[in-house]
Amino acid sequence: MAKNTSVAETVRTLAEPVAESIGCWLWDVEYVKEGTRRVLRITIDSEEGVNIDDCEKMHRAMDPILDEADPIEEQYYLEVSSPGIERELRTEEHIIACEGWDVEVRLYAPKAGSKLFRGVLMEMGENGEIRIDSAGTVLCFERSEVAKLRTYFEF
């Protein structure tokens, strides 16, 4: 692994063609510490959605690739999952893919007396700002203001 390349970036490069080969696309890759465990989480999606069989195929296909590339020095757990109906939008690609969806915007600091806003995700602004239509009012948030952006679904 290159010195300045993160584990997630390295695994993303390895996993993208594998996801495509099983009829999916790579939604996200995270390498995180959860308690005492290290977890490599690969998230896949497709037009039809992802089921347990898709996750198993991806897991089985990635095992030998990760063993050979050996991008992680310590012991870790490999998890493969779908992003779910309520998904965090962490990248510009995620935001573009979910335009027109209902979203929840959580801010680091209150704006207009609130840290939580809901609405329909609109096209990003010229400078990458997050824009939502909240009951007919367009609200704009600088990316640096947003602690978390995720889709939501009312059950």
Which residue ranges does the chain devote to CATH 2.30.30.100?
92-151
On whether the CB atoms of residues 43 and 29 are closer than 8 A, the answer is yes
Which pLDDT score, from 0 to 100, does residue 125 have? Answer: 87
pTM here is: 0.81
Which pLDDT score, from 0 to 100, does residue 5 have? Answer: 56
- Average pLDDT across each block of 10 residues of the chain; the chain has 155 residues. List them in order: 69 97 95 94 94 96 95 94 92 93 97 95 92 95 96 88
The DSSP result for 62-129, as a single string, is: HHHHHHHH---SS--EEEEE---SS-B--SHHHHHHTTTSEEEEEEEEEETTEEEEEEEE-PPPTTS-
Which pLDDT score, from 0 to 100, does residue 85 have? Answer: 87
Amino acid at the residue 107: L
CATH number for 7-81 (one of 3.40.50.300, 1.10.3720.10, 3.30.300.70, 3.40.50.1370): it is 3.30.300.70
Which residue ranges does the chain devote to CATH 3.30.300.70?
7-81
Which pLDDT score, from 0 to 100, does residue 154 have? Answer: 83
Token look-up 């915007």 returns 105
Q: Is domain 92-151 in CATH 2.30.30.100, yes or no? A: yes
**Nearest CA-CA partner of 121 in 108, 107, 140, 106:** 140
